[in-house]
Structure 1
Amino acid sequence: MSNPSDNDRIEALKFKDEGNAFVKKQNFSKAVESYTKAIELDATVSIFYSNRAFAELKLDNFQTCMLDCTEAIKIDPKNLKAYHRRGLSYVGLLEFRKAKKDLELVLKAKPGDATAKNAFQICEKFIREERFRKAIGGGADDEAKHKICQLVPLNSFDANADLQNYTGPTLEFEQLTNEKNENCGIEIKNMSQDFISKMVNDLFLQGKTLPKKYAASIVSHAERLFRNEPTLIELENEKENQDVKISICGDTHGQFYDVLNIFKKYGKVGPKHTYLFNGDFVDRGSWSCEVALLFYSLKILFPQSLYLNRGNHETENMNKMYGFEDECKYKYSNRIFEMFSQSFETLPLATIVNNNYIIMHGGLPSDPNSTIDDIRKIDRFSQPPREGLFMELLWSDPQTANGLGPSQRGLGFSFGPDITAQYLKRNNLRKVLRSHEVRMGGIFFEHDKKLATVFSAPNYCDSQNNKGAIVHVVPGKGVAGEYNNDDEDLLIEIFEAVKHPDIKPMAYSNGGMGF
């Protein structure tokens, strides 16, 4: 409304204040709704847009945040917060040069702003790396960085004080070499349930870390296992392996204590119990290293019973913005982070269970003719591109309207019920299971119950008060009718968050989106 009445302006301010109250409670979805009502009544106030942009940014809706900031700046070119938030949204959109330009304006006015300064440094680093890659054309140094899990020398950790002073559970290692006597990875010879239990109870739950030699060896060994898996994993417990339960979890985001609770409540990983964690197991939460090392150790011990799909947060740019890189450097080292980063590039992108359920982190392809064979053909061993099937599997979200729409996140698409129905029919599948979005009840069925979003980080970021969910694939033993589920082969269970030490989310973050 371009000419609001006095009453409209008064009511709009009430909705703005309501939105601010929701922000203080960290209920950002409700904040967006309130700011939207304010804008509908009075679209002439810059701060309404920049406030909504803040809430959108907290929801990872980078595209809508950027658009709101641009509108705020049109109304008031001196709205510094709008430039700041637009800069951060451009970082989320991977448009680092545009981000740098906005953040420069912020730093000229507020040179001591730590968040802007750290985000600016992230932009400069990405821009430098891009220039370097172009200059060397993918030369030897770049190649070595992306093979660090294979090339890292095991003996390079031997002089570290953390190893000399270590009295915890022990592992035996072997440096693998190829026919040219070149390093090609590290193998752990004696991974055991006893080691994993002691690692969790005697180290991680006591606030301690593994020696870097141990962490590097676990990542290197697990990376080799992931690299040898197909891009599309296929699991089965309907015709064969009928005594095996397959459990699917959504985002866990470094919430280590909630991950332990999942295993406590629903059973440990083992020959009769397969777990699939559907991406985003790092970032946000302040125990991402512990979660990743636990999953990787379980993968080494039970390679056919623990699977990880890649999420959009198993990527370098997300790790730089949302805390995992800083946490990893604080607890271990930059080299360990680089090893994790390479290992993320080897993670599969999707899983099919019983030829009925396709599971990916984000969403379905935008190509109306795409089949599951297209997933199999993806060269996944890299950072995801900005467009195409690879990106869409990690980033896209469902929408209520038919067809394709722009993503609020700015990466991938929003896809409607017709897209889901056509994809399932074309590929002879029953349902899509995906994650990527908080669902207050832990799981949410939509698209005529053909698609479910499962989220397994309860009370996400210690603020959302959502429940967590897990989906068990148990043919003929499921429960239809619960939690809006209509499938007798699926059993859905809901759980609450558990207590954890008083360490806030992203406690180790030096910037990026940790503002």
Structure 2
Amino acid sequence: MGPDESDLKAAEELKFKANAAFKEKNYEEALVEYTKAIQLAPTSAIFFANRAFTHIRLESCGSAVADATRAIELDPKYVKGYYRRADANFALGKFKLAFKDFRMAAKYAPSDPDLRKKLAETERVVKRLRFEEAIASEEEVPAAETLDLSTLKIEADYDGPEMEGTEADGYRVTLPFVEALLEHFKAQKGLHRRFACQILLSARSILKSLPSLVDIPLEDSQQFTVCGDVHGQFYDLLNIFKINGLPSESNPYLFNGDFVDRGSFSVEIILTLLAFKCLYPDHVHLARGNHESRHMNQVYGFEGEVKHKFNGTVMDLFRELFCWLPLAHVINKRVIVVHGGLFARDGVTLDDIRKVDRNRQPPDDGLMCELLWSDPQPSKGRSPNKRGVGVAFGPDVTRAFLELNKLDLLVRSHEAKPDGYEVEHNGDCVTVFSAPNYCDQMGNKGAFIRFTGADMIPQFTTFEAVPHPDVKAMAYASSMFGSSLLGV
């Protein structure tokens, strides 16, 4: 039996409340109300498509695909079902699946101009992927090994910061250069491509020498700071440095991935952090996040930003460097820090992580994928991750992993939290997120964690967003997808 008239009326009222919450960007509230409506009217394709869009805004693209698929099952000609599933798959970097669904949507709504644009854009991306696959070979020489820095001449009228050294003898990063770089970027001025490439090549050399899991020893009295996602929010990074001090040998940092994308000052963020890595290689640590990858950069703005501020060759250098970022860090043999989370199987050891071959684009499954994409869940055991990638792991999984590897705490990032951090799994798992008012719309605080070597107890500092120049989040993302994927 289907819903009766009173259920349908109540479901429509709930949909109205959900729509209003969605427009106010109260996505969690909208999700609750759409779910209530679905419970009353489980055969409504519209309700499932609307909830799918809400899941996209909440970064739950796996759940969005499931809801959109259900909408299509209920109504095989429902355009928004295909539209939402295509958006979710595009957000996950599954461009071929997105193209298939946009093509189906266009079949039923051939005159929709926005849909036609998205179809054309996705087709262009798919063709580029096929071309790249066709020309790829094991003998392909990295851009870092073919770039001739001597061809990048510094013009006489360049007035930005300059690295110490000469063209003949080479350039190196110094503290005065980094301090000048921060002020230059703060004034919205660009770094010369010659120096940007030098930073990238020097940092790549350092990162390439590191294992996939880096051990960080601390003295008992030593302080250590862990920051979560900063996502191109350069002025908020400056605020972290104002609150907590610049990185130095006496003030070490670990930045736990997702330096780029979404925020439109990603170039400034990543060049700053890489410059500090060159300056203090043993005291500034950088981990890979799920956004340090080709597909994410194509969707969420970093590739567009790099090509706008530099060129495609510089993007190639970034892409190669990201593949050498470590996947995990263990601080003082007690706290493990990874970007996403834990694994789809029991028994994973620190040595297993050390053995991961990270010099590649992230795969769709396995340890590397899970380190970058997984999320904690409140219930025991494991479940499919709402993102559609990685796994959702429970408190028993976290405790078993920590006990097996003789660790005290798991620190991860990957999720915006209202207070900038959250303690879960009976205190065994901490999420830290350092991009306040994420994407200029979420209203969350940012946070960072301070540890002291003697006790390794996390101490949290929270902070609000600071003003930034009027360049909106996702400004360099694809013009066809920036608005619909904002916040994903």
TM-score by length of 1: 0.89
The reply to whether residue 414 of structure 1 matches residue 382 of structure 2 is no
- Name 1:353's counterpart in structure 2: 331
Distance 2:349 2:167 in 1: 40
Q: Measured at CA, do residues 163 and 66 of structure 1 come closer, stay the same or move farther in structure 2, by a change above 3 Å?
A: farther
Please give the per-residue CA displacement for 1:62-114, whole angstroms capped at 9, x wherever unaligned: 21111111111222233222212211222344433322211223445247423
AA partner of residue 210 (structure 1):
L
Residue 53 of structure 1 aligns with which residue? Answer: 52
How many percent of aligned residue pairs carry the same amino acid?
Answer: 39
Per the alignment, residue 123 of structure 2 pairs with: 120
**Distance (Å, rounded) in 2 between the aligned partners of 1:435 and 1:294:** 20
- Structure 1 residue 288: deviation in Å? 0.4
Query: Structure 2 regions of 5+ residues with no counterpart?
Result: none
Match of 1:471 among 408, 430, 449: 449
Change (3 A) 1:444 1:475: same
Q: In the TM superposition, what is the alpha-carbon distance from 1:450 to its structure 2 partner?
A: 0.4
RMSD: 2.0
Q: Describe the shift of the 1:436–1:127 C-alpha distance in structure 2 as closer, same or farther (beyond 3 A).
A: same
The amino acid that maps onto 2:212 is: T
1:221 and 1:424 mapped to 2: Cα distance? Answer: 35
Letter aligned with residue 194 of structure 2: K
1:322–1:512 Cα contact (<8 Å) kept: no
Quote the residue 1:229 is aligned against.
210
Question: What is the DSSP-based 3-state SS (H/G/I as helix, E as strand, rest coil) of the residue aligned with 1:210?
Answer: coil
Alignment map for 1:207-222 (pairs within 5 Å) = 207-222=188-203
Given the alignment, which residue of 250, 263, 269 partners 1:291? 269
Distance, in Å, in 2 between the alignment partners of 1:236 and 1:110 is 62
Q: Specify the code of the residue in structure 2 equivalent to 1:315.
A: S
Instruction: Tell me how far apart the structure 2 counterparts of residues 384 and 139 of structure 1 sit (CA, whole Å).
Output: 17
> So what's the TM-score if we normalise by structure 2?
0.93
Conservation of the 8 A alpha-carbon contact between 1:256 and 1:287? yes
* 1:119 and 1:512 in contact (8 A); partners too: no
- The higher-RCO structure (CA 8 Å, 6+ apart) is 2
Match of residue 20 from structure 1: 19
In the alignment, is the contact (CA less than 8 A) between 1:97 and 1:127 conserved in 2? no
One-letter code aligned to 2:12: L
Equivalences, count: 479
- Map residues 429-440 of structure 1 onto 2, 5 A cutoff: 429-440=407-418
**Mapped pair 1:261 → 2:260:** no
Alpha-carbon distance, 1:42 to partner: 1.0
Q: Deviations over 1:292-320 (max 9, x none)?
A: 01001111111111111100000000001
**Aligned AA for 1:42?**
A
The superposition leaves residues 325-350 of structure 1 with CA deviations (integer Å, 9 ceiling, x where unpaired) of 11111111111111111110000000
Residue 149 in structure 1 maps to residue 144 in structure 2: yes
Question: How far apart are the structure 2 equivalents of 1:264 and 1:107?
Answer: 51
Partner of 2:472: 504
- Equivalence for 1:68: 67
Instruction: Give yes or no for the alignment of 1:166 onto 2:148.
Output: no
> Residue 502 of structure 1 aligns to which amino acid in structure 2?
D
The residue that corresponds to 1:33 in the other structure is 32
The aligned runs of 1:436-455 (5 Å cut-off) are: 436-455=414-433
Bigger Cα displacement from structure 2, 227-236 vs 89-98:
89-98
TM-superposed CA distance for 1:507, in Å, is 0.8
* Separation of aligned partners in 2, 1:470 and 1:110: 49
| Superposition deviation, residue 204 in structure 1 | 1.5
Give the Å deviation of 1:379.
Answer: 0.8
Q: Deviations over 1:174-211 (max 9, x none)?
A: 789xxxxxxxxxx963422221222221x312222112
Residue-by-residue CA offset, 1:476-505 (whole Å, 9 max, x unaligned): 57xxxxxxxxxx732111111111112210
Please give the alpha-carbon distance, in whole angstroms, between the structure 2 residues aligned to 1:409 and 1:196.
Answer: 37
How far 1:164 sits from its partner (Å)? Answer: 4.7
Distance 2:27 2:157 in 1: 46
What SS is found at the alignment partner of 1:189?
strand
Distance 1:355 1:12, change over 3 A: same
Give the Cα–Cα distance (whole angstroms) in 1 for the partners of residues 479 and 156 of structure 2: 33
Do the aligned residues in 1 keep the contact of 2:171 with 2:198 (CA within 8 Å)?
no
Q: Is the 8 A contact 2:52 2:68 kept in 1?
A: yes
> How far apart, CA to CA, are the structure 1 residues paired with 2:209 and 2:166?
19
Structure 1 spans left out of the alignment, 5+ residues: 177-186, 478-487
What secondary structure is seen at the aligned counterpart in 2 of 1:432?
A: strand
1:276-315 equivalences under 5 Å are 276-315=254-293
Secondary structure of the residue aligned to 1:261 is helix
Q: CA deviation at 1:224?
A: 1.0
CA 1:174–1:150: 2 relative to 1, 3 Å: farther
The 1:315/1:218 distance shift into structure 2, 3 A limit, reads same
Of 376, 383, 390, which residue of structure 2 is paired with 1:405?
383
Does the residue aligned with 2:427 lie in a helix, a strand or coil? coil
Q: 2 CA distance for matches of 1:505 and 1:425?
A: 41
2:160 partner letter: G
User: Aligned partners of 1:87 and 1:374: how far apart in 2?
Assistant: 35
- Contact 2:254/2:285 (CA < 8 Å) preserved in 1? yes
User: C-alpha distance in 2, partners of 1:188/1:4?
Assistant: 74
CA contact (8 A) 2:332 2:453 kept: no
Q: Structure 1: how far apart are the matches of 2:328 and 2:339?
A: 8
What aligned pairs does 1:179-190 form with structure 2 within 5 A after superposition?
189-190=171-172
Closer, same or farther in 2 for the Cα pair 1:173/1:71, shift >3 Å? farther
Superposed, 1:91-110 pairs within 5 Å as: 91-107=90-106, 109-110=110-111
1:376 aligns with 2:376: no
